[in-house]
Structure 1
Amino acid sequence: MKKVWIDGGHGGKDPGAVGNGLKEKDIALRISQGVKQRLEAEYEGVQVQLSRSTDVFLELKERTYAANKAGADLLVSIHCNAGGGEGGFESFRYTSASSASRSLSLQNVLHTEIMAALKPYNVRDRGQKAANLHMVRESKMPAVLTENLFIDVASDAAKLKRQDVIDALITGHVVGIAKYLGLKQKEGKSMDKERDINVVSPWAASAWEAATKQGYFDGSRPGAAITREEMAVVIMRMESKK
């Protein structure tokens, strides 16, 4: 049984970064809970433990002590960023050469899979970095800290308010961890959920409703791919309304 420790940053009296109607502690907890649920539901032989499963405050040393005592095989500390101008995603490992190889291997696969999951959303890749951060320094197992977009950058905050982007962040963490540990997917489980083309995505609902009311679409198959001939019809309808 592989043991995974997921650390949702901040919590309780410590909100972390705040901006654009968001708190870092809330995003970190949502992603942490999602990673636990997905990993245990979709993969064999894995147990996921969380530093916190509710909105509580924990000192950094409490988090790493618990992870070390549990004998976890890896640790991922989940955060959001602030003050980054253009925003984006980045990940951190510890600077020490003695722990670099194992943590770098985890960072390589985790960073790659998260960025792959975020590709449809045009998230800037700020790169893989090393820093003297408590969560990656004091953990005895391979450890990576992820900075999942910028709370105080409007474009990133808009993405973090979308459930599909949160789901993408969860998926990237899950796939990266599973690949690093060599986990076997449970029979009948798939990371790729089949899309119901007749159901509009929540993030597009208002725009879809407005477009259908304007007559650009007939209201059917909101999730279907569009052909060039269908696009031509839409363009001509838009031209006729000018």
Structure 2
Amino acid sequence: MVILGALVNGIAAVVGGMLGMLLGTKLRQDMGDFLMVGMGLCVVLAGVQGMASGGSVLLVTLAITLGGAIGHLINLDGIIHHFGDRIQDRLQAFTEGNPAFANISAGFVNATLVVCIGSMAIVGSLQSGLTLNHSTLFAKSLMDMVINMLLATTMGAGVMLSGIVVFVYEALLSLGASGIAPYLTQAVITHMLATGSLLLFAVGLNLAKITDIKVANFLPACFLPIVLVPLLSTCGLM
């Protein structure tokens, strides 16, 4: 099944959020915050390893610049936050007096960024779609379950909603892989990986409370190598 990897990843993200909700009353706030900083450093490491796979600095810079401009103009970060706020408003009756449901938006946004951005989500989904090899997404599922468990202990129920988003996101990538196969040269995949890993690095810095970058606004940059690689190759810049 083409979407098996995405399905497992989505379920793992939801299960991690549920486990975090169960542990939330037993795990001290300072311990949860401290562990999240450590997990942020692990995400930074994953980003660094992804960037080490190679890629043109010029192309990644162009992708980040153009993708960031597009994301800023349409305010992707604001759209995601607005979506989370709407969910919180719809569930207002359940959130009143219940700290576990007090910040649906923050949990949803942070968890979604972590589980959706980066080389593992992109390359893993493409592997599932093109070769039915789900091993990368299975490994990512374990990592996302742990991250969501830690996120949910401090950010509540919104974290579980990321499981729905990551399933849809990765399933669409997997299903669409056969359609865009002619454009998926090794160079394209390498630069998608490098760009996504750079954004994953930024997410890790945010989780470690080092920065406060609106990473969502850079999401379009992940897919620009599909256009930029052939364009720069034609111009002799690669």
TM-score by length of 1: 0.25
Structure (1/2) with the larger helix percentage? 2
Comparing both chains, which one has the higher relative contact order based on Cα–Cα distances under 8 Å and sequence gaps of 6 or more?
2
Structure (1/2) with the larger strand percentage? 1
Q: Radius of gyration: which is bigger?
A: 1
